[in-house]
Amino acid sequence: MPVVCAAGTLPWRRRRGHLQVALVHRPRYDDWAWAKGKLDPGEIFPVAATRETHEETGLEVRLGRPLPSSTYRMRDRCGEPVVKDVRYWCAEVVGGRGLLEHEIDEVAWLGAEDARRRLTYRRDLDQLEALVEADAARTLTTWPLALVRHAKAHPRSRWTGEDSLRPLDERGLRQADELVPLLRAFGVERVVSSPSVRAAGTVSPFVQSTGTRLRLKPGLSEEGYAEDPTRAVHHLERLLERGTPAALVSHGPVLPDLVTALLARVDGPRRQRTLARAVLQDHPEDGMAKGEVLVCHVVGTGADARVVAAERHHPEDRA
């Protein structure tokens, strides 16, 4: 059965100390649900989630921790049966005027109990309950720390110059361009990278399009890691101390130590810990693909920084 991929968000805020979430009303179906929509061709789930939220609510959002997915059967516009796979994130509003220009005629900000009663579909309760659980555990307000493996580069066997100067190949350049909306979706504001051309080139399109400063750290390079393996973790810890939404770009041999350091910081309710650990523990098993992003959602800073959720985004996991 064909699978229709979609993505959406649960925008949340506080009013007078009370949690509220945003629901949308579609007059065509006369239903209340979460802002969501189908992936465009070649689009990745988190990017679709922010785009669809803006189109349906007029609000610009930054993605937070992931929420349970929803998979169900339905019929497409031609009446054919399909499976719909919808992935969701918590989201905080960072801009937008809230103008409704598409298929939505109303956006309602409701408390959790009112939202439970207003939602049309029982399947949408899973995302609400997970968000409320995170709020109760004080793990809803997070900041993202993204580990990025450099995009695909020209092979070592065909490169005669210094390895640190080996550039991205055509596919790697495409992967670098595709990282721009993904890192934007999570609101990345600070970027540190290995100075190797293939690593810095992976985030060059992002820093150029956003005006973000690119900070080059020799300790994140393969050569720097071979000389002193502790320097890479030091750069990671500096980001944890700062607490600014960040991306760190490095290499296959360096990343396992960084993942191990983050794994030691996993915390939260048991179910959340289990999910986060499963994502991070997958890394030593198969490593990260070139151009892949591992996003850790962090609560707190410095010694108190805790990883409460994690997700991986493979460069080929697209519509």
Distance of CA 253 to the CA centre of its chain: 23
Q: What integer pLDDT is reported at residue 156 of this predicted model?
A: 85
pLDDT, tens digit, for every residue of 224-277?
999 999 999 999 999 999 999 999 999 999 999 999 999 999 998 899 999 999
Helix (H) or strand (E) holding 191: strand 190-193
Residue 180 CB partners (closer than 8 Å, separation 6+): 205, 206, 209
Domain boundaries, the chain: 3-136, 143-313
Residue 7 CB partners (closer than 8 Å, separation 6+): 36, 37, 39, 45, 46, 48, 49, 52, 86, 87, 88, 89
CA distance linking residue 114 with residue 109, whole number of Å? 9
Q: What integer pLDDT is reported at residue 267 of this predicted model?
A: 95
105 contacts 27 by C-beta, under 8 angstroms: yes
Q: Which of 5, 78, 80, 84 is nearest to 42 (CA)?
A: 5
pLDDT, tens digit, for every residue of 44-54?
999 999 999 99
Q: Domain 3-136: state its class.
A: alpha beta
- Position 284 confidence tier, pLDDT thresholds 50, 70, 90: low
Its sign, for the CA torsion 240, 265, 253, 183, is negative
What does pLDDT average to over the chain? 95
Q: Give mean pLDDT, residues 9-36.
A: 96
pLDDT, tens digit, for every residue of 66-103?
999 999 987 877 778 889 999 999 999 999 877 787 78
Task: Note whether 3-136 and 143-313 share their fold.
Answer: no
Q: Give mean pLDDT, residues 35-60.
A: 97
CATH of domain 143-313: 3.40.50.1240
Q: What is the DSSP string of 62-117?
A: EEEEEEEEEEEEEE-TTS-EEEEEEEEEEEEEEE------SS--EEEEE-HHHHHH
Q: Give mean pLDDT, residues 298-315.
A: 97
Q: Which two tokens stand for residue 157?
A: 């066997």
Q: Is 289 helix (H, G, I), strand (E, B) or coil?
A: coil
Q: Give mean pLDDT, residues 115-122.
A: 97
Q: Give mean pLDDT, residues 124-130.
A: 98
Q: What is the largest CA-CA distance in the chain?
A: 65
Q: How many CB atoms lie within 10 A of CB 68?
A: 17
**DSSP label at 221?**
S
- Position 319 confidence tier, pLDDT thresholds 50, 70, 90: confident
CA distance linking residue 300 with residue 303, whole number of Å? 8
Q: Which of 269, 263, 243, 275 is nearest to 67 (CA)?
A: 275
pLDDT, tens digit, for every residue of 160-210?
778 788 999 999 999 999 999 999 999 999 999 999 999 999 999 999 999
Inter-CA distances, 164 with 160, 175, 226, Å: 11, 19, 13
% of the chain at pLDDT higher than 90: 85
